Each structure stands twice: as structure tokens, then as C-alpha cells.
Structure 1
Amino acid sequence: MSPLYCQTFGHGETDLVLLHGWGLNTGVWHCIVERLTPHFRVHLIDLPGYGRSQQYGEMELEEMTSVVLNNTPESAVWLGWSMGGLVASKAALMAPERVQALISVASSPCFTERSDEGWPGIKTSVLNGFENQLSIDFQQTVVRFLALQTLGTPDARKDAKQLNQVILSCPMPRVEVLNSGLRMLAENDLRSELVDLQPPFLRIYGALDGLVPRKIIPQLDQLWPSSHSLMIDHAAHAPFISHPEIFCQEIIYFVNNL
């Protein structure tokens, strides 16, 4: 299988791997690359089946993580947004010696609601609805899903337009890839596995996020006391788009103080 599509920018001493979310591609990071490249060698990866890595089909989380590990530096800080946060977290569990630090952005170790446990998240019926709609009009379904990610932000319409432009900049993922990504969000629960995580761990959230609710923050603070959490006010599911300066400042500060 050919390598994943990857772009590398910058000449810093530390490698920083950025992993995008469901339905998107490396273009989502272009709004912050210039802020990060003076400090890091930034590696933008199109996840298997997404963007310009179209040669891959549907995958389970562990398989996708293995492919990404085979296409990244031997030692790096890993930052994953949304679904990419699941992949980055799994990489830190599978190969902790290769992950200098883990940063999850608007991500959750368990995306779906577990009402019997008091765990907030996306209702399974919502994810199933998106999966059903993909077979009818998959491009419009992806656009609709992305619109949820900017709701409530001061520049929601502009932020949503930016995400839509990222979609259109590359070939759309195949329906089976998108479906397997939704199943990945619905089925995985890394809460207990990450209790003993070895690398330093920073979790960044948007206060207005409708997909990863802020209610999980104190629960994970208690479950993972060695990790650090940060909530960005007035941000939703894509804080690096709505608040790029604050976002990058926090990344740089965290890595410089490892």
C-alpha cells in the first residue's frame, strides 16, 4: 500500500503531527500552520481514506492507527482533532515511546452518550441518522455534520464556510470510509485504557461544543488526574479555526514546558 499523503512545514526541533477529523483532510490546518512552523516541524497527515489518501478503504481504529504510525516520525508530539483525537490517543497507547506528548482537541475517549453511566456525548441515534443519510446524499450529509461544529461561535457562518472549502479542496471520501468513521466514533471507548497513559496529555475543548460537551471535562479531570484540560470560551468544535491565536499559544506553551 502506498504511503499516506503528508505535508511537512517548518524547521523547529520538535516534530508535531496533526490529525484531522471525520470527513475532512489536511486543509483544515492551513489556518494555523504559519503560527506553528517557527516552533515545530509540522506534519499534516491525511488519514487513511480521506483527502489525498484515497487508496485506503474502511478501517477499525487500531488498523488506522497502525497505518498512521507507519507514516509518521519516530518521535513526535501528536495532536488529534475530534476523530483524529481517537487515533492520536490510540497511538499513544500502542506506541508510547514514539509519542512525546498527546494533545486532543474537541475530542472524547467515548464520543457516544452513555446515559446509564451519566456520560454525556452524541446520541447513538444521531450518528445512525448520519450513516443512513450518507447513502442518500453523502456530500450534503457531510456538510450538515460540519455545520454542527461551528454553531454558537461569533463567526459561525464564516467558520462553517472555511470547513466546507476544505471539503471541496480534495476528493470526497468514499461512503464506506465515512460510514466506518462514524462507527469508529460510536463504538470506541478509551476511558479506562487512558488512565495509565504514559506521555504528557493536554485536552483542549470549546465551551460551546455541541458534539463533545463541556460536561465531560470534570469527569475526565477526575479520571485522568495527570492530564491537563483547557476550555476556550466562545469556541465550539473547531477552536483552532475560531480562536487560532489563543489555540496556538497554548500548544506552544504546553510543548515548551514538557
Structure 2
Amino acid sequence: MSALHTTHLGEQGSPVVFCHGLFGQGKNWTQIAKSLADSHRVTLVDMPNHGRSEWTDRLDYVEMADAVADVIDEPVTLVGHSMGGKAAMLTALRHPELVERLCVVDVSPVQYRESDEFRGFIDAMLAIDLGALDSRGEADAALAAAVPDPGVRAFLLTNLRREGDGWQWLPNLEVLRRDLSTLRGWPETDAVYDGPVLWIAGADSGYVRDEFREAMEARFPRVRRVTVKGAGHWVHSSQPAVVAELLDRFVDAPA
């Protein structure tokens, strides 16, 4: 897999690497990264088929994890949300020497039930005729029926980029749609990561449940779960100050 695009903030302190979720980009973590950058060296990763990283012909969590490992050259605090959280967990399991500690945000190492929500988002994005699009506002209006939440629409539209006289989607939408079942899944592994793990859940999200605790503790025995009130799946967007404080404490806590 090709090298991933990365952005760096901060010039001193221990390294922290962020992996975003589906439809995201490394820059989604900028606010929290800036809060850490005074005392840490932060790397924001664009995951495969997202942002400015190259497209691939399929989605595969093992390949994703190994691609993340390739941008790490010393032990780091690795933070991952949703899809990026699963990739981060696998990175820690496959390359424990590179992960000093792990933070998993609103995802669990399990196979999730099928949902049409993300497929509906992708279908709506693909249905937009980019060649006839005059403005980002037109794209917003075109998504409104399938994506009624204006916050979610705004998030999806961060992936629409002006290219010369036209527009293009940054994510590899065709592959994301085809391989959504892979994103919902979790590769079988017997590996165990024995470093400290912070497991952040959104109180209003269903991605971290009590029934998933056994699966999490089997692979990550030193896990500590924190539930953030007033947050859904995108915890770091809805409660950035809380997540920043949790990370600041976690990164510098004694191992």
C-alpha cells in the first residue's frame, strides 16, 4: 500500500498519531491536535482512500494497519476513531513495539450489524452530477433528502474539493460502498496488546456497549473505558475539550 499523507504539528515531546474514521481526514483532529502540540509531536494521518492519501482497489483492515505502522518510526500514543480505531487496534496488535499506548474512540473490535445509513450517504454523494455542480451550496441541497442532519452534511461536504473548473470527491466512494461490509467487520486474531488502552465512548452512540466489553478485554486487558456525556459517534467533534483533556492526561500518565 502506498505511503499515507500526513500532517505534523508540534516540535517537542512524545509523539501522538491520529487515525480518522469513515469519510474523515486527518484534519478532523486539528483542534485537539493543536491543544496537544505545545508539548507533543502530533501526526494527523489521512487513511487510505481518504483525504490526500492514495486510493486502493479494496478496503482491508490489516493492510490499513500496516500502512499506519509504516508512518511510525518510534513508539507513539496511537489514537483512532471508528474505522481508524479498528485500524489503530490492529496496528497495536500487529506492531506492539510501535505503540506505547492506545486510545480507541467510539468503536469496538467486533462485527457490527449491517446498516443502510452509510450506504445511503455514499449513494447520495455519488448521485450528484459533479460536472454540472456550480457551488458547494448546490451539493448541500442535493444531499438534504438523504442526509437531513445539517452537521452530518457539512462533515460529508468537507470531502468535496474544487479542482480547476470542476469538483471531485476526495474519498474513493465506489470502493467504500462496495466494501462497507469489511468496515463493519473485524479480522480474526489471537494477538493481545498489553499496553495501556483508553476506550472513549459517546454516551449517545451504540458503537461501544457493555456486551462488547468481553471482546475488548480479551485483546486489550489493560483497557479503561470512559463515556462522554452529550456525545454521539463523533465524540471528538461534539465534545472536543473533554476529549482533549482525556488525551492530555492519558498521553502523560505513567505506564
Structure 1 and Structure 2 fold alike (TM over 0.5):
yes
Determine whether 1:163 maps to 2:151.
no
Partner of 1:5: 5
Partner of 2:231: 235
- For residue 219 of structure 1, report the CA deviation from its aligned partner: 4.6
**Structure 1 residues 14 and 186: CA distance shift in structure 2, 3 A:** same
Contact 1:9 1:37 in 2 (8 A): yes
> Structure 2: which 5+ runs fail to align?
129-142, 162-167
Contact 1:104 1:202 in 2 (8 A): yes
Larger of the two Rg values belongs to structure: 2
Determine whether 1:182 maps to 2:188.
no
Contact 2:59 2:176 in 1 (8 A): no
Partner of 1:204: 200
Rounded Cα–Cα distance in structure 2 between residues aligned with 1:221 and 1:96 = 16
Q: Alignment length, in residue pairs?
A: 232
Contact 1:9 1:41 in 2 (8 A): yes
After superposition, the CA RMSD in angstroms is 3.0
- For residue 33 of structure 1, report the CA deviation from its aligned partner: 2.2
Per-residue CA deviation, residues 20-58 of structure 1 (Å, 9 max, x unaligned), is 001221121122222111121110011111110134332
Rounded Cα–Cα distance in structure 2 between residues aligned with 1:2 and 1:213 = 31
Rounded Cα–Cα distance in structure 1 between residues aligned with 2:223 and 2:251 = 14
Partner of 2:26: 26
Percent of counterpart pairs with the same letter? Answer: 25
Contact 1:27 1:166 in 2 (8 A): no
Contact 1:60 1:180 in 2 (8 A): no
Contact 2:107 2:208 in 1 (8 A): no
> Structure 1: which 5+ runs fail to align?
113-122, 149-155
- For residue 137 of structure 1, report the CA deviation from its aligned partner: 4.5
Partner of 2:54: 54
**Structure 1 residues 38 and 46: CA distance shift in structure 2, 3 A:** same
Counterpart secondary structure, 1:31: helix
Counterpart AA for 1:69: A
- In the superposition, the TM-score normalised over structure 1's length comes to 0.77
